Amino acid sequence: MTPAAEPGTVGTDRKRLAGRLAIGVGLAILVVTVLALFADARQLWDTLRAFPLWRLGVILALTLGNYLLRFAKWHVYLRVVGVPAVSVRTSALVFLSGFSMALTPGKVGEVIKAVYLRRLTGTPVAKIGAVIAAERITDGLAMLGLAGIGLTQFSYGRPLLAVAALGALALVLVLQRPTLLPSLLKPLRRWRLTAKVEEHAIGFAGASNALYRPRLLLGAVALGVVSWALECVAFYLVLTGLGVPASWHLLLVAVFTLSASSIFGALSMLPGGLGVAEASVTGILLVLVTETEMGRSVAVAATLLIRFATLWFGVILGVVALAALQRMVARREARTNLVGARPFWEEASEAT
């Protein structure tokens, strides 16, 4: 029996994932409980029951549209950094598997995408890590752009969003210079522990240099604006489905609220931004929408519905994709009699 089929590889991976999901679900239950108490549980339940179910299908379709556009960016990035050709199906499974790690702090668990692509193609983890970082950074810049539209009308969170924008732009400037990151590690060479870190940094910086070229960067951010705008429209449909009168002002509120709260959640580094994102959505809605249109129960119901569509729906897809990907990799490693394969979580820990 090859290691890929033994307990302690795929089986252990699933147990570890189940444990982390259990922690995330437990934290989510706590957040929902607090929100329900804030809104009055009975009123909240009545508000949710009145929501038209057909709208949920449209909302999830818009979320899938976001995922499709982000996958297109991922697939292009793989070609840019020179990853050997993989089928669209395999690339999609790797991409979606990262969603299963949305509940890890800062989504660092997304490094499993790099680990699985290394197993499938032999590409160094550091090179795929650069792709994952580029995804996150361009998505962040896109969200900042959407939040900036709202900042023309609203002042909520301006200092924090400004700091986030400056930090993201500074990071892009650093990553556009492939020699800068390794040079920053030179003073640490006296410690042997940094040798592998420096090796990863060189590979990461080299791949990043190709990913942040101006035309590709601008195209990726523009694609990100379109893809995340689909989720903002989904949030607008949530609000109108809960009885808030449709208007251009409400659409602007939806765009600003979802983008700003997503940024706040990401900056918190909490698993899935749990707690921070929900509090931000509810709080911003109550501040920006008049009390006659937005009571507590409506604000909390809108928060729960959009978080299901943009977080938990993705986690469910990610778990399914990861299970399929694990079976695919196990079969390939069994056919090639690969010896010494370890659980992806051990490899991911080393990579980070």
pLDDT in tens, the chain (352 residues): 333 333 334 455 556 666 667 777 788 888 888 888 888 888 999 999 999 999 999 999 999 999 999 999 999 999 998 888 888 999 999 999 999 888 877 666 788 888 888 888 888 888 888 899 899 999 999 998 998 888 777 766 677 778 877 887 877 777 767 666 666 656 555 555 455 555 666 667 667 778 888 899 999 999 999 999 999 999 999 999 999 999 999 999 999 999 999 988 888 888 888 888 999 999 999 988 876 678 889 999 999 999 999 999 999 999 999 999 988 888 877 776 544 444 444 444 444 4
Residue 128 CA to residue 8 CA, distance in Å, equals 25
Residue 288 CA to residue 249 CA, distance in Å, equals 10
Count how many domains the chain has: 1
Question: Which are the contacts of 340, defined by CB distance < 8 A and separation ≥ 6?
Answer: 3
Q: In this structure, is residue 150 part of a structural domain?
A: no
Residue given tokens 């969170």 in the structure block: 157
243, two tokens = 């009885």
Q: In this structure, is residue 136 part of a structural domain?
A: no
Residue 182 CA to residue 169 CA, distance in Å, equals 19
Q: Find the domain containing 93 and state its range.
A: 3-124+225-351
Residue 43 CA to residue 297 CA, distance in Å, equals 6
Q: In this structure, is residue 184 part of a structural domain?
A: no
Q: In this structure, is residue 84 part of a structural domain?
A: yes
Residue 338: which region, alpha, beta or left (left: phi > 0; alpha: psi -120 to 50)?
Answer: beta
Dihedral (CA of 235, 240, 253, 40) sign: negative
Whether this prediction's pTM lies above 0.75 is answered by yes
Q: In this structure, is residue 183 part of a structural domain?
A: no
